[in-house]
Amino acid sequence: MVSTFPNSSSVDLSRIRLSIRSLQPQLVEWRRRLHQQPELGFQEKMTAEFVSQKLQEWGIDQQTGIAQTGIVATIKGNKLPTPHSLLPTPQVLAIRADMDALPIQELNEVPYKSQHDGVMHACGHDGHTAIALGTAYYLQQHRQDFSGIVKIIFQPAEESPGGAKPMIEAGVLKNPNVDAIIGLHLWNNLPLGTVGVRAGALMAAVESFNCTILGKGGHGALPHQTVDSVVVAAQIVNALQTIVARNVNPLDSAVVTVGELHAGTKGNVIADTARMSATVRYFNPSLKGFFNQRVEQIIAGICQSHGASYDFEYWSLYPPVINDMKMAELVRTVAEQVVETPLGIVPECQTMAGEDMSFFLQEVPGCYFFLGSANPEKDLAYPHHHPRFDFDETALGMGVEIFVRCVEKFFS
Ligand SMILES: [Zn+2]
Ligand SMILES: [Zn+2]
């Protein structure tokens, strides 16, 4: 499906859409500039500088250097509340964007190709930053249209090691206290003109473990004198698959992937040790702690039965992204107006990928959603994190429009 935005022939274009349409060339310019100077997590110096300079130019209050390179812009609406809607304190809505790039060598031959060797905006965070800037610009120009405070959070290091948590620890959700938060990810798994939004779990928890099997090496022809770490590791890898197949409720989705397995040096030598690394994903927050325990039980049991021992470390990276029902409904209603058809709303958009937006959503109710950005006709459909990833920039204006309409609806 291809959106009617911004080339709609409809005469009844709303005031918001008209303003944002005129902003589209700037959105593209900012995005391309950011695309040319991608920076890895916590190194977003040029990016933060660019954002900060724009905010300053537009007279927007900002705090910089939060969690190293993060920025928070604060815009106060000055629409007078109607007498019956008087609230003791103004409501605060946060909008979150991430700014970091990936250690990937770009293979696109475009005029705005990355100028930083081995670093690329291959996830679309350049677009997220441009959309957040466009939203800040629009809201600052239209303060009379909303009552309340909007905090725009420009976050570092989403890809790793995670910038959301340190920003929360630095107090970005406080003073004034944020009541709700929204955020988006440009999404090439969905076509341009669609929005993936749903209440409840959207993205998975991300956990990892490393394990080293400590056996006893020896001659390949004399296995009875050894403890073969390859045999032990193979049994562990297989047994780990029973966690999802036999321990997790079939109605809960989960993944255990052993992505790395290293052992041995030669075919006729029994390996002393075997080393594996894995990722674990799940949606249901009540499963926190379960995988850690069960994975180690399996490793311990199999090692014991073979006379091997093991080193094991398990850690949690991001919790699952869980959307609040009311905020998801607000985003869905707004998105439907922007894509202009209920068919453009895709509730079955869950993914086992992770996102540290989840930390914000643990603190305040909110909604994270996917903004369709693939356009195969323009060869813009490569997956995220691919060296040829790029997206249809028409989505930039749609992102701003959804955010702006969410702001007006949230405070009305
Ligand atoms: Zn990514
Ligand atoms: Zn991303």
Q: Is 226 helix (H, G, I), strand (E, B) or coil?
A: coil
pLDDT at residue number 87: 57
Q: How far, in Å, is the centroid of ligand 1 from the Cα of 385?
A: 6
pLDDT at residue number 247: 98
pLDDT at residue number 80: 75
Q: How far, in Å, is the centroid of ligand 1 from the Cα of 59?
A: 31
Q: Kindly state the tokens that stand for 54.
A: 């724009």
Number of domains within the chain = 2
**How many angstroms separate the CA atoms of 203 and 372, rounded?**
16
Q: What is the CATH number of the domain that holds 51?
A: 3.40.630.10
Q: Based on the domain organization, do 290 and 340 belong to the same domain? A: no
Q: Could you say which ligand is closest to the alpha carbon of residue 321? A: 2
% of the chain residues with pLDDT over 70: 95
The residues placing their C-beta within 5 Å of ligand 2, an ion, are 123
For helices 394-411 and 325-339, angle between their N-to-C axes, nearest 10 degrees:
130
By residue range, what is the domain housing residue 404? 15-204+320-411
Q: Based on the domain organization, do 229 and 94 belong to the same domain? A: no
Omega before residue 387 within 30° of 0, cis: no
Q: Kindly state the tokens that stand for 306.
A: 């073979």
- 30 in any annotated domain: yes
Among 318, 335, 361, the domain boundary falls at: 318
The DSSP 8-state label assigned to residue 37 in this structure reads S
pLDDT band at 408, cuts 50/70/90? Answer: very high
Phi and psi angles of residue 151, each rounded to the nearest 5 degrees, phi first: -110, 125
Q: Based on the domain organization, do 236 and 297 belong to the same domain? A: yes
Look over the chain and give the mean of its residue pLDDT values, rounded to a whole number: 95
Cα atoms found within 13 Å of the Cα of residue 331, Cβ hemisphere only: 33
Supply the residues annotated as catalytic.
100, 158
Cα atoms found within 13 Å of the Cα of residue 44, Cβ hemisphere only: 35
Q: Based on the domain organization, do 266 and 372 belong to the same domain? A: no
pLDDT at residue number 403: 98
Q: Could you say which ligand is closest to the alpha carbon of residue 383? A: 1
Q: How far, in Å, is the centroid of ligand 1 from the Cα of 123?
A: 5
Q: How far, in Å, is the centroid of ligand 1 from the Cα of 138?
A: 27
Q: Could you say which ligand is closest to the alpha carbon of residue 368? A: 2
Q: How far, in Å, is the centroid of ligand 2 from the Cα of 160?
A: 10
Q: How far, in Å, is the centroid of ligand 1 from the Cα of 159?
A: 6
Nearest partner of 7 among 394, 377, 374, judged by Cα: 394
pLDDT at 2 over 50: no
- 35 in any annotated domain: yes
